[in-house]
Amino acid sequence: MKAASGILVAALVLWPGILPAADAPPGATSCSGCHATNAAAETPVPKIHGRNADETVALMAQFRSGSKPGTIMGRVAKGFTEDETRAIAAWLASQR
Q: Where exactly are the structural domains of the chain?
A: 24-94
Helical segments of 15-70, H only: 53-65
60, 67 Cβ separation under 8 angstroms: no
Q: pLDDT tens per residue, the chain (96 residues)?
A: 454 444 433 443 444 444 445 799 999 999 999 999 887 888 899 999 999 999 999 999 999 999 999 899 999 999 999 999 999 999 999 998
Query: 66: phi > 0 → left, psi -120 to 50 → alpha, else beta; which?
Result: left
Domain 24-94, classified CATH 2.40.50.140, yes or no: no
